[in-house]
Amino acid sequence: MPFLYFKLIQAIKQTAKMSKTSSYSFKAPLDIIGINPFVFVPETILHDLFRILNREKGNIALKVSVNRSKYHPQTLLRYKGDWRLYINTSMLKDSPKRLGEELMIKIKLDFSERKVNMHPKLQSALDENREAKAVFDSISPTLRKEIVRYIANLKTENSIVRNTDRAIAFLLGQGSFIGRNKI
Protein backbone atom coordinates (compact mmCIF):
# COMPACT_ATOMS: atom_id res chain seq x y z
CA MET A 1 0.00 0.00 0.00
CA PRO A 2 2.69 2.63 0.88
CA PHE A 3 4.50 1.83 -2.39
CA LEU A 4 1.33 2.50 -4.44
CA TYR A 5 0.78 5.74 -2.53
CA PHE A 6 4.38 6.79 -3.33
CA LYS A 7 3.85 5.99 -7.04
CA LEU A 8 0.59 7.99 -7.05
CA ILE A 9 2.33 11.03 -5.53
CA GLN A 10 5.13 10.75 -8.11
CA ALA A 11 2.58 10.60 -10.94
CA ILE A 12 0.77 13.69 -9.61
CA LYS A 13 4.04 15.62 -9.33
CA GLN A 14 5.03 14.59 -12.85
CA THR A 15 1.64 15.72 -14.18
CA ALA A 16 2.05 19.09 -12.45
CA LYS A 17 5.53 19.51 -13.98
CA MET A 18 4.24 18.62 -17.42
CA SER A 19 1.32 21.01 -17.06
CA LYS A 20 3.62 23.97 -16.42
CA THR A 21 5.30 23.43 -19.78
CA SER A 22 2.40 22.14 -21.83
CA SER A 23 0.40 24.28 -24.20
CA TYR A 24 -3.32 24.52 -24.75
CA SER A 25 -5.06 24.90 -28.10
CA PHE A 26 -8.58 26.10 -28.75
CA LYS A 27 -10.70 27.86 -31.35
CA ALA A 28 -12.59 31.01 -30.47
CA PRO A 29 -14.36 33.80 -32.34
CA LEU A 30 -12.78 37.24 -32.19
CA ASP A 31 -14.94 39.64 -30.18
CA ILE A 32 -14.44 43.28 -29.19
CA ILE A 33 -15.05 45.43 -26.14
CA GLY A 34 -14.62 49.13 -26.76
CA ILE A 35 -11.74 49.20 -29.24
CA ASN A 36 -10.01 46.08 -27.89
CA PRO A 37 -10.35 42.76 -29.75
CA PHE A 38 -10.27 39.66 -27.54
CA VAL A 39 -11.25 36.00 -27.25
CA PHE A 40 -12.72 34.13 -24.33
CA VAL A 41 -10.59 31.26 -23.01
CA PRO A 42 -12.56 28.01 -22.47
CA GLU A 43 -13.50 27.26 -18.85
CA THR A 44 -11.65 23.92 -18.84
CA ILE A 45 -8.38 25.63 -19.78
CA LEU A 46 -8.97 28.42 -17.23
CA HIS A 47 -9.53 25.87 -14.46
CA ASP A 48 -6.37 24.02 -15.47
CA LEU A 49 -4.36 27.27 -15.39
CA PHE A 50 -5.81 28.13 -11.97
CA ARG A 51 -4.89 24.68 -10.69
CA ILE A 52 -1.32 24.93 -11.97
CA LEU A 53 -0.83 28.44 -10.58
CA ASN A 54 -2.72 27.60 -7.39
CA ARG A 55 -4.71 30.85 -7.61
CA GLU A 56 -7.80 32.27 -9.29
CA LYS A 57 -7.08 35.98 -9.00
CA GLY A 58 -4.66 38.34 -10.66
CA ASN A 59 -3.39 38.51 -14.20
CA ILE A 60 -1.90 35.44 -15.86
CA ALA A 61 1.23 35.83 -18.00
CA LEU A 62 1.02 33.78 -21.19
CA LYS A 63 2.74 33.21 -24.49
CA VAL A 64 0.13 33.26 -27.26
CA SER A 65 0.15 32.05 -30.83
CA VAL A 66 -2.70 33.09 -33.13
CA ASN A 67 -3.37 31.06 -36.29
CA ARG A 68 -0.01 29.28 -36.01
CA SER A 69 2.03 32.51 -35.82
CA LYS A 70 5.03 32.86 -33.53
CA TYR A 71 4.42 33.17 -29.80
CA HIS A 72 3.84 36.65 -28.37
CA PRO A 73 3.86 37.58 -24.67
CA GLN A 74 0.38 38.51 -23.50
CA THR A 75 -1.55 38.71 -20.25
CA LEU A 76 -4.86 37.03 -19.54
CA LEU A 77 -7.03 39.59 -17.74
CA ARG A 78 -10.29 39.52 -15.86
CA TYR A 79 -12.56 42.38 -16.95
CA LYS A 80 -16.22 42.85 -16.00
CA GLY A 81 -16.30 39.37 -14.52
CA ASP A 82 -14.92 37.52 -17.55
CA TRP A 83 -11.42 36.32 -18.35
CA ARG A 84 -10.36 37.84 -21.67
CA LEU A 85 -7.34 37.24 -23.84
CA TYR A 86 -6.73 40.43 -25.80
CA ILE A 87 -5.51 40.01 -29.38
CA ASN A 88 -3.45 42.99 -30.53
CA THR A 89 -2.37 43.87 -34.05
CA SER A 90 1.13 42.45 -33.60
CA MET A 91 -0.48 39.06 -32.93
CA LEU A 92 -3.13 39.32 -35.68
CA LYS A 93 -2.92 41.91 -38.43
CA ASP A 94 -5.99 44.18 -38.61
CA SER A 95 -7.47 42.41 -35.58
CA PRO A 96 -10.08 45.12 -34.83
CA LYS A 97 -11.51 44.68 -38.34
CA ARG A 98 -11.75 40.88 -38.14
CA LEU A 99 -14.59 40.51 -35.64
CA GLY A 100 -16.34 37.16 -35.63
CA GLU A 101 -13.42 35.40 -37.33
CA GLU A 102 -12.72 31.99 -35.83
CA LEU A 103 -9.14 32.01 -34.53
CA MET A 104 -6.88 29.09 -33.72
CA ILE A 105 -5.28 30.04 -30.40
CA LYS A 106 -2.39 28.26 -28.72
CA ILE A 107 -1.32 29.38 -25.24
CA LYS A 108 1.25 28.38 -22.68
CA LEU A 109 2.19 29.84 -19.32
CA ASP A 110 5.00 32.38 -19.39
CA PHE A 111 7.20 32.17 -16.29
CA SER A 112 9.86 34.53 -17.63
CA GLU A 113 10.41 37.83 -15.85
CA ARG A 114 8.79 40.76 -17.63
CA LYS A 115 10.74 43.59 -16.10
CA VAL A 116 10.97 46.90 -17.94
CA ASN A 117 13.99 49.01 -17.04
CA MET A 118 13.47 52.69 -16.33
CA HIS A 119 14.79 54.94 -19.09
CA PRO A 120 17.90 56.87 -17.91
CA LYS A 121 16.27 60.22 -18.79
CA LEU A 122 13.29 59.45 -16.54
CA GLN A 123 15.63 58.29 -13.78
CA SER A 124 17.72 61.47 -13.94
CA ALA A 125 14.59 63.67 -14.07
CA LEU A 126 13.29 61.97 -10.91
CA ASP A 127 16.69 62.33 -9.23
CA GLU A 128 16.70 66.06 -10.03
CA ASN A 129 13.18 66.65 -8.70
CA ARG A 130 12.77 65.34 -5.15
CA GLU A 131 9.08 66.25 -4.95
CA ALA A 132 8.26 64.28 -8.11
CA LYS A 133 10.43 61.39 -6.86
CA ALA A 134 8.52 61.33 -3.55
CA VAL A 135 5.19 61.20 -5.40
CA PHE A 136 6.53 58.54 -7.79
CA ASP A 137 7.62 56.38 -4.85
CA SER A 138 4.22 56.79 -3.15
CA ILE A 139 1.96 55.90 -6.10
CA SER A 140 0.75 52.37 -6.71
CA PRO A 141 3.21 49.89 -8.24
CA THR A 142 0.85 49.50 -11.21
CA LEU A 143 0.91 53.21 -12.02
CA ARG A 144 4.70 53.35 -11.54
CA LYS A 145 5.08 50.43 -13.94
CA GLU A 146 2.73 52.09 -16.44
CA ILE A 147 4.77 55.32 -16.43
CA VAL A 148 8.10 53.47 -16.71
CA ARG A 149 6.82 51.21 -19.51
CA TYR A 150 5.36 54.13 -21.45
CA ILE A 151 8.63 56.09 -21.43
CA ALA A 152 10.75 52.97 -22.06
CA ASN A 153 8.79 52.05 -25.19
CA LEU A 154 9.13 55.45 -26.88
CA LYS A 155 11.30 55.44 -30.00
CA THR A 156 12.59 58.96 -30.69
CA GLU A 157 14.79 61.06 -28.44
CA ASN A 158 12.41 63.99 -28.87
CA SER A 159 9.39 61.99 -27.67
CA ILE A 160 11.37 60.62 -24.71
CA VAL A 161 12.35 64.12 -23.55
CA ARG A 162 8.86 65.55 -24.15
CA ASN A 163 7.09 62.71 -22.33
CA THR A 164 9.58 62.65 -19.46
CA ASP A 165 8.76 66.33 -18.88
CA ARG A 166 5.04 65.51 -19.06
CA ALA A 167 5.50 62.64 -16.58
CA ILE A 168 7.27 64.91 -14.07
CA ALA A 169 4.54 67.57 -14.47
CA PHE A 170 1.90 64.86 -13.96
CA LEU A 171 3.60 63.69 -10.77
CA LEU A 172 3.60 67.29 -9.54
CA GLY A 173 -0.13 67.58 -10.27
CA GLN A 174 0.36 69.96 -13.22
CA GLY A 175 -1.17 68.11 -16.14
CA SER A 176 -2.37 64.86 -17.58
CA PHE A 177 -0.30 61.88 -18.67
CA ILE A 178 -0.99 58.36 -19.99
CA GLY A 179 -4.70 59.09 -20.20
CA ARG A 180 -5.02 60.24 -16.60
CA ASN A 181 -5.89 63.75 -15.45
CA LYS A 182 -4.48 63.47 -11.94
CA ILE A 183 -3.05 61.01 -9.49
73-98 pLDDT, tens digit each: 999 999 888 999 999 888 999 888 89
d(CA 100, CA 88): 15
147-156 pLDDT, tens digit each: 999 999 999 9
Q: What is the pLDDT of residue 99?
A: 92
pLDDT in tens, the chain (183 residues): 455 544 444 444 444 444 556 789 999 999 998 888 999 999 999 999 999 999 988 889 999 999 999 999 999 999 888 999 999 888 999 888 899 999 999 999 998 888 889 999 999 999 999 999 999 999 999 899 999 999 999 999 999 999 999 999 999 999 888 888 877
| SS3 at position 18 | helix
DSSP designation for 114? -
| SS3 at position 39 | strand
d(CA 23, CA 66): 13
Query: What's the pTM value of the predicted model, to 2 decimals?
Result: 0.62
Residue type, 146: E
d(CA 23, CA 39): 17
Q: What is the pLDDT of residue 97?
A: 87
Going along the chain from its start, the domains and CATH numbers come out as 22-109 (2.40.30.100), 120-171 (no CATH)
